[in-house]
Amino acid sequence: MKISIATVFPDLYREFLGTSLIKRSYEKEIASYDVVSFSSFCQPKERLDGPTVGHGSGMAIRPEVIQRMVEAQEEKHGKAYRIFVTPQGKKLDQRLVARLADTFLKAEHILLVAGRYEGCDDRAQKEYADLEVSIGDYVLMGGDLPVMVLLEAVMRYIPGVVAKKDSVEKDSFTNCFIDFPTYTTPPREWHGQVIPEVLLSGNHAAMDTFRTEVAAQKSVKEHFQWVRSYCADKKNRALAFRYMPSHYVVLMHDQVIVQESTVGTSSVTSLDIHDIARSCKTYGVKGYTLVTPLIDQRKIAETILDFWHGAGISYNRNRSEAVDLVSIKQSLDQVIAEIELKEGKKPLLIATSAKNQGNLSRSITYFDQTEVWAHDRPVLFVLGTAKGLCDELIARCDYLLLPIEGFTDFNHLSVRSAAAVILDRWMGINLLQVD
Ligand SMILES: C[S@@+](CC[C@H](N)C(=O)[O-])C[C@H]1O[C@@H](n2cnc3c(N)ncnc32)[C@H](O)[C@@H]1O
């Protein structure tokens, strides 16, 4: 496999290509590298870069120089699969790396183009790039580190480059869990930390189970966005779910803002009972409680639940199954006490609101699972009815979720819809790719 690299600074590659596994790849004649300088495609006194058009100063690599470079490299090594590295390209992750390894193996010639300054002239990039790749949402001074990152990641997949194929296939991000922790021995104990006994037992099945469990647990706690973007099969979903803390939902018909901004109670509704119960069931919520201090309101809610536990079963079995999660309580304190009894720990309270509530409670986003789950406590989402939870109740909560918003000024969702959106954003599967 021939790999051409076009750059403004070819010297940067000398050490890189002469070291470790990349060096091994050409020593073993798996790949050979041809690093070329853009300047070698310029006529005498011609510059490789030119000023960018429009106000706002900057320079970019000129299209004619790129054209000459592409034509010369393809003349030398054959038609290439051309990759331009740019912060605006497709984000590199292990899935893309695996796909690129396939491309590298099939293509006779790979051309990697490292930009500099403001990048490459857009017309040339459009004309020649088969793929634009970014190594992350930040901007470097040039494309040479991205080219090296891409090569280090992809070449590990090329047979013969890494001695143990097994170690590549089990690496972090090759499936929905990260790699398990590694230890060396000796020493068995270091700074008071010991290697888990099972790893020294010689029992391979027990070791595999232990490693899978540890990897799943760590992945859920620290890389949940990856897990949810990758977890396609039922077995891994069940494993991941085991390590997510228990979640509960409470719908407050008390301590909510009612007419003229006073704090009061609201009425229960049939739809909020079974619709929110169905969302809770979908996302694995352990219990959904309605809170109302009013006896009559509790009676109405109980009548609705009785229906779903009786005649409702034959009317709609799924709905009835979801409604099994529902209970009715007089106060939020009772809900908290019941969860504590069941889980052995007080739940963390996450308030929800349609408005930005400033400093009433610590705000979190839908990407803060790691922070919340690090407490190792059950999680209770507190949903409001009427005009939302009162300030006192929000201030009592440990966290406040950012409001759900679209790209409009309207965000008056029904609490049923809000519950579904919140649960999905917080703990829904969100596959990035279908394999
Ligand atoms: C200063 S950057 C140009 C940034 C460009 N003006 C922009 O805002 O998208 C110069 C070159 O560095 C490389 N580069 C910088 N950050 C990168 C990233 N995150 N991923 C891939 N390449 C990057 C690209 O080759 C790019 O052409």
Asked if residue 260 has pLDDT above 90, the reply is: no
Split at pLDDT 50, 70, 90, the class of 259 is confident
Q: If you take atom 19 of ligand 1, which residue's CA is the nearest one?
A: 87
CATH of domain 2-168: 3.40.1280.10
- 279 contact partners, CB below 8 Å, separation of at least 6: 285, 416, 419, 420, 423
User: pLDDT value at position 435?
Assistant: 66
Which is it for the CA torsion 406, 411, 416, 419, positive or negative? positive
Split at pLDDT 50, 70, 90, the class of 57 is confident
pLDDT, one tens digit per residue, over 316-325 is: 888 888 999 9
CA 123 to ligand 1 center in whole angstroms:
16
Split at pLDDT 50, 70, 90, the class of 158 is very high
Residue 147: CB within 6 Å of ligand 1? no
Q: What is the pTM of this model?
A: 0.91
CA 239 to ligand 1 center in whole angstroms:
39
pLDDT, one tens digit per residue, over 63-86 is: 999 999 999 999 999 999 999 999
Neighbours of 211 (CB within 10 A): 19
Q: Per-domain residue ranges for the chain?
A: 2-168, 189-241, 245-427
Task: Pick one of 3.30.360.10, 2.40.10.230, 3.20.20.30, 3.40.1280.10 as the CATH number of 245-427.
Answer: 3.40.1280.10
99 vs 435: CA distance, rounded Å: 11
Averaged pLDDT of the chain: 95
Residue 140: CB within 6 Å of ligand 1? yes
CA 406 to ligand 1 center in whole angstroms:
30
Helix, strand or coil for residue 151? Answer: helix
pLDDT, one tens digit per residue, over 100-137 is: 999 999 999 999 999 999 999 999 999 999 999 999 99
pLDDT, one tens digit per residue, over 160-210 is: 999 887 778 889 998 999 999 999 999 999 999 999 999 999 999 999 999
CA 233 to ligand 1 center in whole angstroms:
36
Asked if residue 308 has pLDDT above 90, the reply is: no
309 vs 306: CA distance, rounded Å: 5
Q: Do 245-427 and 2-168 fall under one CATH topology?
A: yes
Half-sphere exposure of 287 (CA within 13 A, CB side): 18
Average pLDDT over residues 240-263: 95
CA distance between the termini of the chain: 27
Helix, strand or coil for residue 13? Answer: helix
With a pLDDT cut of 90, the percent of the chain lying above it is 89
